[in-house]
Amino acid sequence: MTVLPDTVRLQRERIAILAIFVGAITIAFAPILVRLSELGPMATGFHRFLLAIPLYWLIAATLPRQDAAEGDEKPKTLRDFLLIGMAGLYLAADIMAWHYSIQMTTVANSTLLANVAPVFVVLGGWLLFRTRVTGTYLIGLATAMTGVLILSRASLSLSEDHFFGDLLGVLTAVFYAAYQMSVERLRKRFSTITIMKLAIPVSAICMVPAAFASGEDLFPVTLAGWAFLIALAAGPQVFGQGLIAWSLAHLPVAFASVSLLVQPVTAALVAWVLFNERIGPLQAVGGMIVLVGIMLARRGSTRR
């Protein structure tokens, strides 16, 4: 990759911060669309990836060639394809674990546990790559996680009956952390669209056995059912995940992961507007704490 002048780099960092927040807000609609889908969670996850494939390839065919700073290499070796395929595998495993978690524990538990991904990003970065973070960043991470806990506290439920579902919630966070770290490193060499158009077919293939094993109907029977699936693929998957993947070339993955904690705040607001799920004073305070934590994490993030 070409070394960018400081002014250009700073400008791209600001754009990347905006991109990751827009992406996070977009993927916060995924649980709403999964709830509205006519199909079960596994079949819905399969179509999320399957319907995204032609969109990615269409974008790839129409986009101009990326500049060197954006990662313009083409995968050439088997190792390149395997590394990109692993990102698709991690994302599919994240969706499978999260959807099964929702079925086996409360929505609040699965949402909270899935959002501890930043903890695993920091831990994985230190164990695998000896990546260090500052004390300010850790304070910001702890603050944001506290806000998420407060947001979920009203409906949080701890029970032995939920143990396996809660464990799947933790695995969701592990797989999503692995996906973020994988994409962050791939973006140093490949463009966003190159990664997505090759990784997402792997995600779709991985969802096939889960969809069949679930015994769910594989296809919707109404136009509205197809519309929700297309919206899920085009919005949270293509647009939302695409923006997040693009931003990972310009931001530390640890900060990017914390920024995604804006999702539960957005989901609470969307549920309030669409489903009249009231936001109490405690939840409002939790949302504000999440935003403060993200700002602290940004201040404590080391530059790339």
What is the C-alpha separation between 5 and 112, in angstroms, rounded? 40
What confidence score (pLDDT) does residue 69 get? 46
What confidence score (pLDDT) does residue 295 get? 82
What confidence score (pLDDT) does residue 133 get? 76
In tens, the pLDDT along 65-79 reads: 654 445 567 898 999
CB distance 249 to 72 below 8 Å: no
Residue closest to 82 by CA, chosen among 238, 237, 202, 174: 202
pLDDT along the chain (304 residues), means of 10: 63 86 86 84 92 92 61 84 95 88 68 77 80 82 82 59 76 91 90 92 94 88 94 94 87 81 74 67 79 80 54
pTM (predicted TM-score): 0.83
Q: Please classify residue 62 by burial: count the beta carbons closer than 10 Å to its beta carbon, then call 0-12 exposed, 13-18 middle and 19+ buried.
A: exposed
What does the buried/exposed string (b/e) look like for 174-207 if buried means 16 or more CB atoms within 10 Å of the residue's CB? bbbbbbbbbbbebbebbbbbbbbbbbbbbbbbbb
What confidence score (pLDDT) does residue 262 get? 79
Sequence ranges of the domains in the chain = 6-115+124-133+155-251
What confidence score (pLDDT) does residue 67 get? 45
Q: Between the CA of residue 284 and those of 86, 155, 157, what are the distances in Å?
A: 38, 15, 20
What confidence score (pLDDT) does residue 302 get? 55
In tens, the pLDDT along 108-127 reads: 566 667 777 888 888 888 77
DSSP letters spanning 220-244: -SSHHHHHHHHHHIIIIIIIIHHHH
**3-class DSSP state for residue 303?**
coil
What is the C-alpha separation between 227 and 74, in angstroms, rounded? 34
